[in-house]
Structure 1
């Protein structure tokens, strides 16, 4: 398995190309950096955990942690899945990878010195030579990402951050629908994703999200500063 450093090197050019295309980041980063300048995060390990911090910086780091995990996963899929997927599926999964790398680099640039450290993934439970194993993990990551953004949005005080979060979660929801459809064609939205009675996507708070995410991280993450 590649180290995080190797992953960063292998996709650096791709991230640069994708960054402005997907995030509209030229203007938004300036606004987010301004928010970051007046707040500090709690970027210190706590009992072996990396805490995301508090306030809007904490929200950004929380999202950054999840985007690091997703980007690392799809890079691993592209690098090691071989002929598990047909060419059309490889193309679609490659686009998702590009999006996740762009999201990761967006948060890295916005947070600057307030960013949590690079996280080390642990994908030992995933068989990257097996279609079902890969898509099951992909569904877990995509559904987790959507519910995470939905569950933290009310904590955001900056209009700039809320706007960017809304743009990113809409992309993550497209990913979730695509993965669901690859698993079971025609089922692009399932009852475990959307409350069919209300038409609203489900949400989760940081405690539930990070408990699931930490199963795939050697670098464990906490959000102890958020009051949930």
Structure 2
């Protein structure tokens, strides 16, 4: 965990929203009756939980947004690899803690595929622990997560299955890879998009490290999908995902390009730089709903916890 001096500095420099400032102070045991003078906290004690439009985005807000996404990835991979989700002790925090719908162990036939799932599950668990430890009492709780109906809705929208059919990413290795593809590229673009918003260099370095790990994961998933001849459904998911984020430019790419089916394992722009997505664009994807003003749906049926939760 970061030293107390760094947390104090984070309060002074990074907690721009009233909700963040309250949570960080509470985490240090400073926000209690008679402990903090009105001159320090001011009107923020009575401020609403969600940041008002136009408020600067604090480091705490950005990291909690990332934590919401890490909860989703960790739950998906934990169920796939081990047949269970995160412990309740790893799901508590500010906001409303929700349960997880769906998920079971994947019947892996390939030892290497199982090892991959276990390794990435352990990585995502570590990300959740890292963010929770460094956010302290300001860490948001795991929101309600849907690993069942959400995948079916996404697969129908992409044309991978027909209306009335069910897509279970835990039913086979192929479906597991397609389910993983839904998350991995989004995680990479989300962390890159968040980088300019992070003020504290220690947090920026940590976020860059997580981004690198997510990029490794995405590369593995894209390679396995290509090697297993799953380019058609993968590219369909990519197109559907790109239509959801609401961006004017094409920020998503499938795993093949052109009629020849040449591999496209590294999705980049013309300068071979990875794409960025804003928090609002990411929300459009995970809520499976394009547009603005959306605050729940898809993988998060009750919405995210924290300040960044409305597209």
Q: TM-score range by the shorter chain?
A: 0.7 to 0.9
SS in 1 for 2:227: coil
Query: Which structure is richer in relative contact order (CA contacts within 8 A, separation 6 or more)?
Result: 1
- Does residue 198 of the first structure (1) align with residue 240 of the second (2)? no
Match of 1:57?
60
Maintained 8 Å contact 1:64/1:107: yes
Tell me how far 1:167 sits from its aligned partner.
0.7
Cα distance in structure 2, aligned partners of 1:111 and 1:161:
11
Maintained 8 Å contact 2:106/2:172: no
Maintained 8 Å contact 1:41/1:54: no
Cα distance in structure 2, aligned partners of 1:225 and 1:87:
39
SS in 1 for 2:19: coil
Cα distance in structure 1, aligned partners of 2:283 and 2:62:
13
Normalized per residue, the structure richer in helix is 1
Maintained 8 Å contact 2:77/2:117: yes
Match of 1:75?
78
**Which of 75, 88, 111 is matched with 1:87 structurally?**
111
Tell me how far 1:29 sits from its aligned partner.
6.9
- Does residue 210 of the first structure (1) align with residue 283 of the second (2)? yes
- Does residue 106 of the first structure (1) align with residue 189 of the second (2)? no
- The structure with more radius of gyration: 2
Note the residue ranges of structure 1 that are not aligned, 5 or more in a row.
Answer: 1-25, 47-52
Cα distance in structure 2, aligned partners of 1:35 and 1:211:
33
Maintained 8 Å contact 1:210/1:221: no
Maintained 8 Å contact 1:148/1:204: yes
- Deviation track 1:137-171 (CA, whole Å, cap 9, x = no partner) reads 21121100000011111011100011001111001
Relative to structure 2, which stretch is displaced further, 154-163 or 216-225? 216-225
TM-score with structure 1 length normalisation? 0.74
Maintained 8 Å contact 1:36/1:111: no
Cα distance in structure 2, aligned partners of 1:31 and 1:122:
39
Cα distance in structure 2, aligned partners of 1:192 and 1:69:
23
Cα distance in structure 2, aligned partners of 1:31 and 1:172:
30
Q: 1:157 and 1:82, CA in 2 relative to 1: closer, same or farther beyond 3 A?
A: closer
- Does residue 159 of the first structure (1) align with residue 232 of the second (2)? no
Tell me how far 1:83 sits from its aligned partner.
2.4
SS in 2 for 1:117: coil
Match of 1:9?
none
Maintained 8 Å contact 1:35/1:158: no
Tell me how far 1:129 sits from its aligned partner.
0.6
- Deviation track 1:13-66 (CA, whole Å, cap 9, x = no partner) reads xxxxxxxxxxxxx5x5767644544425637776xxxxxx93111111011111
- How many positions carry a matched residue from both structures? 194
TM-score with structure 2 length normalisation? 0.55
